Structure 1
Amino acid sequence: MVALERKRKGADSSSKNGTKKTKAAVSSSFILHSYSRLPNINQVPEAKSVPLDIFVWGTGSMCELGLGPSSKNKEVKRPRLNPYLSEERLEGTKVVDFSVGGMHTLALDGKNKVWSWGCNDSGVLGRDTSKAKEVLKDLDAEDSDDDDDGDLNEEESTPALVDGLESIKGTKIVQLATTDNLSAVLYDNGDVYAWGCFRCNEGMLGFLRDEIKLQKTPLKIKELKNIVQIAGGKDHLLALDTKGIVYAWGNGQQFQLGRRVLDRHRFRSLEPQQFGLYNVKYIASGAFHCFAIDHDDQVYAWGLNQYGQCSFTDANGELEDGSLITKPTLIPSLSNKNIIQISAGEHHTLALTKDGEVFSWGRFDMKEVGIPKDKLPESTFRDEHGNPRSVPTPTKLQFGKKKDNGLKIKAIGTGSHNSFAVTEDGFVYAWGFGDTYAPGLGPLDDDVEKPTRIVNTATKFHNIEIIGAGGQFSVSGGVKIADEDEGEDRLEKYEEIDE
């Protein structure tokens, strides 16, 4: 990315990022020496229990959709119910939660079992998929297509149980986390188990210190205890404990670990370490940038920022290629807004407020931010030809054509270059990069500039609860609306809103 020109510089340039630190960011030594005296301020969340129907869509050439090995399931243009995750297939239960990585997914069922599917090159599925039968394409068949390279790996494309988690008795899994090359689970006793590996710009980085390069089955991360939340980026993980302290490990080449990692100590980055951030109640991560919210409702960001995805500019009000926020830095424009969820892609970010409003910022090239070109804020950065490139200012999104229509959002999700917002009564709005069908809006001639409601037969009578996305595919989970009249009324309401 070339250096960008800003349409209008911000007024506040009193510090390098127009911000200042508050008490949530202190020295690591302070936390180390004060740990035993710090009170417990966070609680481990309860295990989720609402049974969900799981829908998948997008491009699944690497088994991402989990719809079985048939080659016809490589492209799904709109949400499709996954039959392999039905109550019958899961022996009397359903999925209650899931996490989407770059090319794989973990799903938790109501019996505390974890299922996985997708590309298993880095051991992220937590099970052996090497025994899959190889199905070759018949080039002489009448229906042979030069663009069709045969069926998928049956073991990777079909959801199956993760090995080794069933033996951990007396605990419940309360959260799943996924990166591009690693998977993790959090138990209600505060323990974290993980498997897979981390990668960096030079290739394989490893799993834990210099001892384990690739971990194919779940392993307890002994350095962590009393954890209440985990969050995955592209190749790093964050963890938050009961005392409000944040830990990070994995690849730190873009300062996503909140600290400088010297090359001679690169394997130490594979060991979870705190980096001076405490009094925190919530964490989130994009591919290369991270966020934390403290108990004073202050929002912090760090990591890669060349598209303003951390919501910062430099002291001159400019953005440059390779811009980095080297340590947790306060975002004044998001603080005290009651932010309850943050979801971030490769170069863009969404934030959801308690009142159901969504703010968006970051890269514009593939319409990731969901702001129409004619409604871009004055802070928008443009290239030398005047084309918008990024929006570093958190900007409120509009859903539906009518302004002030009363719509409230309850959940948000992001893929690498696309985004989602789930309304209070369970409809999904999508926008962003469209070539891989990841928005779920069917065949598209271009990227989707503004939030557009997903309309399809499979989900029209479902109340979607959670949503997530990877590199080129997406997953949602919802509850079927039993009352037909209620379902029809909901459809009519949104048809009026979107007119």
Structure 2
Amino acid sequence: MMAQTVKNGYLLFYLFEVKWIRKVPSGLANQHYLKTLSLSFLITYLQLAVRNSMWQKLRVQKLDVHIHSWMEELNLPPYQKQNLHTPRRCIPSRKGSVDSTLALLKKNGGNINTRNSFGLTPLHIATWRNHIPIVRRLLAAGADPNARDGESGWSSLHRALHFGHLAVACVLLQSGASVTLEDLKSRTPIDLLSGPVMQAVGKGNHSVATEVFSWGSGVNYQLGTGNAHIQKLPCKVDTLHGSFIKLVSAAKFHSVAVSACGEVYTWGFGRGGRLGHPDFDIHSGQAAVITPRQVTSGLGARRVKAVAAAKHHTVVATEGGEVFTWGSNREGQLGYTSVDTQPTPRRVSSLKSRIVAVAAANKHTAVVSEAGEVYTWGCNKEGQLGYGTSNSASNYIPRVVEYLKGKVLTGVAAAKYHTIVLGSDGEVFTWGHRLVTPRRVVIARNIRKIGNTTLKFHRKERLNVVAVAAGMTHSMALTDDGALFFWVSSDPDLRCRQLYSLCGGNVVSISAGKYWTGAITVTGDIYMWDGKKGKGEPPAPTRLHGVKKATSVSVGETHLLIVTSLYHPGFVPSIGGSTHKLKVQEELDELHEGFAFKDLESMEVSSTVEKVEIRNCCSTKFKKLFREQDSSKFEKLL
């Protein structure tokens, strides 16, 4: 007859967390013992450890203290438990106390759903630490998967999905965890999985950690992962880890990324100089840059704040408002004469205005100045420069678009045959596809159709557009309330329609490539759709799996780049006295000990008052710990 099953989840969690139990001995590795952790199972492990003289390495003295303290707490009335951990009541570790500990453990039992001082059950803790074996054993022993903590009302499934522990979530769901259980803020576990993206500007003790993912074709090594084939799922660009990337731009043959410090990284196939590296083998096309490499020539100590990558060249704007270009100059798209190719960044000296936004297409470039003027240069065969004529095939020197004089412009987007600009008042203008002068795009929300009549908002209620994107056959506009509109780029009537099929999610960022378009919702999900479908057929967006918490996307011709962002809070104890700060920090470093057990020994705290003060501080800090993702203590989100 198997011994009584040990129900104390805290001891079970503690043994596995500090890795005292490494694996199941062959003599005990049968199905009966693996289904539930029995008392004899624990005793066998402890006896094996004693026999092999491993107690000092495994720190059994502290285990003795924890077990004694726990067993003593079970036998005390509630009014005496508050004094349980004073120095007088702490049981010091001593040689030979393991036998007495095992005797107490065998004699007494505990409730597997018992809660610690933070209102957490053992299952909550095991879920948070992503320990699947412990989660399985706790559930098999009767742990309640729908038990909610006392702080936020989160169940174990809430916590698993919040921290991205999907394997644990599957185990919980198989054991009857509810997906409709609401926390104290009426949020279900699914709501936490798709919560709003939290962003911060690196101030004080806070910072923005980012990851870059790539997806699509890597035939020109533009993915940055070393993959030269089709990458069917987004894959992290490991070389950029820790670079705090804030901007990305994808083109047919290469990719560009800009860090928060203004550093520029490029990779891919660099023939013609599009990568900006001085190596002859690279800009001659004899070698490719497989992983991201920083551009160090030409820019000096300047910090880049805007970037645009095109098929044959690259454009950046610095914090000082200067514009640098490099790559092919066959159509004058670099903004200066005398060279056919420019292998490293070179300043466009003819631009005297301070530039704040840039856009680049196959053979032309457009920028917006701080004063709100738009300048264009390069190929003009389709009227994509907006000069009112297409007679001049190429323009090597930047020229202001006179038709928009008096308008204050803030944004710009460019595709192969057309250009789009955004005004400070939310107006959108476009030209190209043989329309040589700028025309305003009417962005209006359709309410409903009555017969052949379409009702629209009153003119005074015109929507405010905050972003535009240009593809070869399609164009997009994003409003300040998250609505997305599209039109066929070559349509002479510029008929604009709203896109409704994004699962009701408000859009916060858009990007258009040659054919495909990408949009990011407020929940950090990415939707993609093909923009080259029939003129009368609305797009059919599908969500891109494998990436969450996206903040920026750039769609190229055959691949895309994604930036994801996680919020990392500072963690500084706010109690007086350097001694107390040190003690709290030590306890936080030993999170698996001080969190699951209230176990400060007599040498660590000199009085009950000091201990209560430290506990209160830790309670406040642990509330933040369970709400925000700290990469130093939690698993990475998928």
Same fold (TM over 0.5): yes
What residue identity is the alignment partner of 1:191?
A: E
Q: How many residues align?
A: 308
| In structure 2, C-alpha distance between the alignment counterparts of 1:95 and 1:249, rounded to whole Å | 38
Is 1:309 aligned to residue 373 of structure 2?
no
- 3-state SS, counterpart of residue 271 of structure 1: strand
Aligned to 1:453: 498
Structure 1 residue runs without a partner (length 5+): 1-85, 98-108, 133-152, 364-389, 435-445, 482-499
> What is aligned with 1:382?
none
The CA distance in 1 between the partners of 2:250 and 2:405, in whole Å, is 27
CA separation in 2, counterparts of 1:449 and 1:299?
21
**Looking at both structures, which has the greater relative contact order when contacts are Cα pairs under 8 Å and sequence separation is at least 6?**
1
Equivalent residue runs for 1:105-254 within 5 Å: 111-129=209-227, 153=230, 156-166=231-241, 168=243, 172-198=244-270, 208-209=277-278, 210-212=280-282, 213-223=287-297, 224=299, 225-254=302-331
Query: Who is 1:396 aligned against?
Result: 440
Structure-2 separation of matches of 1:175 and 1:205 = 17
Amino acid at match of 1:397: V
AA aligned to 1:467 is I
State the match for 2:557 in structure 1.
Answer: none
Give the structure 1 partner of residue 545 of structure 2. none
How far the C-alpha of 1:433 sits from its partner, in A, is: 6.6
Q: Is 1:467 equivalent to 2:467 in the alignment?
A: no
Seen in structure 2, the aligned counterparts of structure 1 residues 232 and 419 have a Cα distance that, compared at 3 Å, is: same
List per-residue Cα deviations over 1:426-450 (Å, max 9, x = no partner). Answer: 121112279xxxxxxxxxxx99951
Structure 1 Cα separation of the partners of residues 432 and 197 of structure 2: 31
Aligned equivalents of 1:252, 1:349: Cα separation in 2: 19
- Name the TM-score, length of structure 1 as normaliser: 0.56
User: Whose helix fraction is larger, Structure 1's or Structure 2's?
Assistant: 2
- Residues 95 and 110, structure 1, Cα contact 8 Å, conserved in 2: no
Structure 2 residue runs without a partner (length 5+): 1-161, 168-192, 199-206, 445-453, 525-638
Shift of the 190–117 alpha-carbon distance from structure 1 to 2, 3 Å rule, reads same
Normalised by the size of structure 2, how large is the TM-score?
A: 0.44
1:407 aligns to 2:463 (yes or no): yes
1:410 maps to a residue whose letter is V
User: Within 1, Cα distance between the matches of 2:408 and 2:256?
Assistant: 28
Alpha-carbon distance in structure 1 between the residues aligned to 2:382 and 2:328: 20
Q: Is the 8 A contact 1:308 1:319 kept in 2?
A: yes
C-alpha contact (below 8 Å) 2:210/2:246 kept by paired residues: no
**Compared CA separation, residues 198 and 261, structure 1 to 2 (3 A):** farther
Aligned to 2:474: 418
Letter in 2 for 1:166: H
Q: Flag the structure with larger Rg.
A: 2
Deviations 1:358-407 (A, max 9, x none): 111111xxxxxxxxxxxxxxxxxxxxxxxxxx211111111235362422
Q: Distance in 2 between matches of 1:188 and 1:110?
A: 9
Residue in 2 that maps onto 1:486: none
2:553 is aligned with 1:479:
no
Within the candidate set 328, 343, 350, 1:270 is matched to 343
The structural deviation recorded for 1:261 is 4.8
Q: Given the alignment, which residue of 396, 419, 442 partners 1:326?
A: 396
The aligned amino acid for 2:428 is V
Q: Would the aligned equivalents of 1:258 and 1:303 in 2 still touch at CA under 8 Å?
A: yes
Residue 333 and residue 447 in structure 1: after superposition, are their counterparts in 2 closer, same or farther (change >3 A)? closer
1:207 and 1:214 in contact (8 A); partners too: no
Change (3 A) 1:207 1:282: closer
CA contact (8 A) 2:322 2:347 kept: yes
CA separation in 2, counterparts of 1:229 and 1:335?
23
